[in-house]
Amino acid sequence: MFVSRRIPPLLASRLRAGLSNAHHLEQPIGRLRVQPSTTSAIFTTHSLWSGSSDVEPIAKTLTSNAEPTQVDHASVEERTIPALQDFQEGLRIALDHDQYDVASVLLQQLTKIYSVDSASRLTVFHDFLKRDDLDQFDPAALVSVFNLIKSSPFEVKQLQTEGVFRFLSREGVDTSAFAAGFDCIMAHLSTLQTPSGVNALDFKPPAAVGASFKLTRDLVSDDPQRSLALFDLLVDTGNVPAECLPGEEAMENADIKFVVLSSLSKASIHWGWFLAAARFTLDLLDPKAKENPFIPLLAIETLASLLDGPVQRQPLEYMNACFELIEESHAIQPVPDNLIVQFYKVAKEYDQGAAAEKLYGHSVRHRHHAPTHPYPLPPNSTLGWLMQHLSTSSQQLDLLRCLASDVARRPAILPPAMRPGFIAATASAGNASLARSLWEAYSRGKERHLVFASPKLLVPMVRLFAMVVKQKDKQLERAEAESQTRRRNGPSRPGKDPAILRQDRASAQGFLDRLLDEYERCHHPISRASHFVFTTYVQACFVAGHHEEGLALMQALTERAELPDRHDINVMLNGIALRDPRQAVRVLNQMTESKRLSPDTTTYGTIMTRALDHRDFELVDDMIDLLVGPKARFKVPRFTLKSVAGILRALAFSRPEEPMEDRAARLRRAMSILEEWMTTNNSTSAQMGIFLSKAALQVGDPAMAFKFWDLMVRQAVRFRDIEHTQLRVAIANLVESHGREGSISTEEQERMLGLLERKSRNQSVHS
């Protein structure tokens, strides 16, 4: 049965009946601003190109209202300047100099000349319509050009439409010029009939069809009459295939917007314009979409098409469009789980970690808001990849903790090969309890050796739990001192029980020892292990505080006739610096003088960190100068995040009995280093940002505290996070305090408080 590609008359009449009576296709509408028509004499321009002072009669003739046939040809011929060439050359010069009024006059005269000779090609007008600044010309001139093009079936078919579509998409276009341009586009589109039969197999519509889809969408709300006329033409020419139109059931309560945009979305998918399809569908996903059950179905269809489409062409744009569809569909009807799973897989395939991060963050945020429809976890094959992204590229510590918790609750979902890297990322983020839970969960079963024997897992875990042991030592020391104070002074508020802290400390130390024992057992005898496996164990020994064993192993390395590389030497220096940073400097100087080592940022950074641990601030400053001082040979933007974070921490660290201004000066230096580093680096450490912001608060500088927060914390930590909330409140309080004193301007105060999401209580004070 033959199916017409036109909109059925009954459907068209019903759609038009829903339009306001105020809309008439034949009349300009009030949405476009009318620009006054202005013209000027062209004598000056004419003189420029002619180089003659006696051309005023010709200029007057050219700007008169006389018909072209009334031009004094004899006068023109006497000067050997043909009239048509005069106009064309004058137009060229006027356009080159952006003389819009002069060019408008010449355009109108030229259209009159060309309208007499229908056999002439209209190349000059086609070239003119390619311009980006058509809205600067006299509307009457544009109308004359559009009408001239439209009057010739051949010329309208040859029209290059890019400039015209740009003109029609701009705000404030004169109504008459818009109407003429729109009619010209309609005439051109009527020539773009889609082929049938064999010719249709590999057919792709020209760019004008895609641009007309966008124009139809732009007009659907402001000018539905024209939008419907354009849409009807697209259906009639087959550029919106009949199968893309809504079915009878969908049409029962449909409005023009749904009919047009849903059809354009499906037609875009039909032609392979997937990103355009997403935009048309997104335009329908507003709060009213709940009233139309076919809109969520369209969103699902569009999302599935994008995920199955040619993502490799523009992976970033495709994945962002897919996420927008998922996000905007949530309040209406969450998309099916299988599409969420497919999203993660496609994101991994094209290494779009930021997109997967956004989707996982979206799912975490809505767990409590939509408990009846929780989003599925990332599929097993993507968990390790996503964790690696969260730990290295995004610094989203809260999402990293959430993902680690999700896996810890269901450890079987993580493939064995991904387990070491996943736990290492968790440990590197400082999540001791989660890292231990995961390690112990995977310490059973036939794949346990993958965790026990992993070099890339050993050092992060040992470093983390060596720090935990030190923290427990400090807590125990404070608790015992408080306990003695209570015994001397009588009952008081109870503190932490030293016995419990001793148990916690013993548990952490026991786990730390087990990490080393299991690794050594898997590679026994360790002295015969490969270079990387062996030196990793040496480094872990130094980190764990087993300095004598570490030095003995370094000696064994030389006995194996293997020269230590820079990494090995840095490990050894770290072990020495743990006990005596200045001894490490002496060893470093000896090795440098003997040309056995060229120190790098890790070398100096390691000694700086250990000197800070020993509160040797003079040595700390020496190392900082070697790293970032005037004579330093290193470039700050090339530092690793770990290196720059160590420098910032050392500069911000509080020193005993120092003037506040000294610490403030170091913080200003830290800010300068951070800004230089961020010229080529995007990721920062949120925890370091919190530390620096608090340091700035301690020296009474709210502007610096805010800046550290804005650069390093604001977008990296959830606003509802307790520590983040407390920090924002503290910064806001100091900002308001300085605002009352007048040391911060009202505008700057309101800007800061706005980003901190806190309204100023002092607004009236400065008004």
3-state secondary structure 132-176: CCHHHCCHHHHHHHHHHHHCCHHHHHHCCCHHHHHHHCCCCCCHH
Q: Give the range among 28-37, 180-189, 339-348, 718-727 with minimum mean pLDDT.
A: 28-37
Assigned token pair, 446: 């036939």
- C-beta atoms surrounding 113 within 10 Å: 17
Q: Is the pLDDT of residue 490 over 70?
A: no
pLDDT at 594: 66
CA atoms within 13 A on the CB side of 132: 0
The mean pLDDT value for 324-339 works out to 93
Q: Are the beta carbons of 420 and 460 closer than 8 angstroms?
A: no
Q: Is the pLDDT of residue 620 over 70?
A: yes
The mean pLDDT value for 485-496 works out to 61
Residue appearing with tokens 């773009």: 192
| Measured distance CA(493)–CA(501) in Å, rounded | 18
Handedness of CA 547, 549, 555, 560 (dihedral sign): negative
Diameter of the chain by CA atoms? 123
Cis-peptide into 525, omega within 30 deg: yes
pLDDT at 596: 62
pLDDT at 412: 87
Output the CA–CA distances (angstroms, integers) from residue 723 to 403, 441, 708, 720, in the order listed: 20, 30, 15, 9
Nearest to 588 by CA among 574, 629, 610: 574
Nearest to 255 by CA among 282, 230, 284: 284
The mean pLDDT value for 423-452 works out to 92
Assigned token pair, 618: 């003079």
CA angle 82, 84, 89 (to 5 degrees): 95
pLDDT at 439: 96
Q: Are the beta carbons of 271 and 205 closer than 8 angstroms?
A: yes
Q: What is the pLDDT of residues 391-429, one digit of tens each?
A: 888 767 889 999 999 999 998 889 999 999 999 999 988
pLDDT at 60: 42
Q: How many helices (H) and strands (E) does the chain have?
A: 40, 0
Assigned token pair, 371: 């408990």
Nearest to 375 by CA among 408, 415, 338: 338
| Measured distance CA(132)–CA(437) in Å, rounded | 62
Q: Are the beta carbons of 566 and 597 closer than 8 angstroms?
A: yes
Q: Is the pLDDT of residue 460 over 70?
A: yes
Residue appearing with tokens 């580093």: 677
pLDDT at 492: 52
Q: What is the pLDDT of residues 71-89, one digit of tens each?
A: 444 443 344 334 678 788 8
The mean pLDDT value for 612-624 works out to 94
Q: Is the pLDDT of residue 731 over 50?
A: yes
Q: Are the beta carbons of 14 and 252 closer than 8 angstroms?
A: no
- DSSP per position, 620-674: HHHHHHHHHSTT--S-GGGS-HHHHHHHHHHHHS--TT--HHHHHHHHHHHHHHH
The secondary structure of residue 525, as a DSSP letter, is S
Q: What is the amino acid identity at position 579? A: R
The secondary structure of residue 27, as a DSSP letter, is S
pLDDT at 307: 97
Q: Is the pLDDT of residue 30 over 70?
A: no
The secondary structure of residue 309, as a DSSP letter, is S
pLDDT at 489: 61
Q: What is the pLDDT of residues 354-381, one digit of tens each?
A: 999 999 999 998 886 566 668 899 999 9
Query: Quick one: pLDDT band at residue 115, thresholds 50, 70, 90?
Result: confident
Q: Are the beta carbons of 696 and 680 closer than 8 angstroms?
A: no
Q: What is the pLDDT of residues 627-686, one digit of tens each?
A: 999 988 899 888 988 899 999 999 999 999 899 999 999 999 999 999 999 998 877 788
Per cent of the chain over pLDDT 90 is 56
Q: Is the pLDDT of residue 539 over 90?
A: no
Q: What is the mean pLDDT of the chain?
A: 84
Residue 421: its H or E element = helix 419-428
- DSSP per position, 57-71: HHHHHHTSSS-GGGS
Q: Is the pLDDT of residue 8 over 90?
A: no
Q: What is the amino acid identity at position 761? A: R
If one compares 491 and 581, the residue with the highest pLDDT of the two is 581
Handedness of CA 81, 82, 87, 93 (dihedral sign): negative
pLDDT at 378: 94
| Measured distance CA(570)–CA(588) in Å, rounded | 9
Q: With 0-12 CB in 10 A as exposed, 13-18 as middle and 19+ as buried, what is 273?
A: buried
Q: Is the pLDDT of residue 3 over 50?
A: no
The mean pLDDT value for 733-752 works out to 92
Buried b (16+ CB within 10 A) or exposed e, 657-673: eeeeeebbebbebbbeb
**Range picked from 117-126, 146-155, 535-544 for highest mean pLDDT:** 146-155
Q: Are the beta carbons of 379 and 355 closer than 8 angstroms?
A: no
Assigned token pair, 642: 């770990």
pLDDT at 551: 77
pLDDT at 394: 76
Q: Is the pLDDT of residue 698 over 50?
A: yes
| Measured distance CA(420)–CA(326) in Å, rounded | 32
Q: Give the range among 47-51, 255-259, 319-323, 513-517 with minimum mean pLDDT.
A: 47-51
Q: Is the pLDDT of residue 572 over 80?
A: no
Rg over CA atoms, the chain: 37
Nearest to 427 by CA among 449, 452, 450, 459: 459
The mean pLDDT value for 84-98 works out to 87
Query: Quick one: pLDDT band at residue 40, thresholds 50, 70, 90?
Result: very low
Q: Is the pLDDT of residue 224 over 70?
A: yes
pLDDT at 180: 96
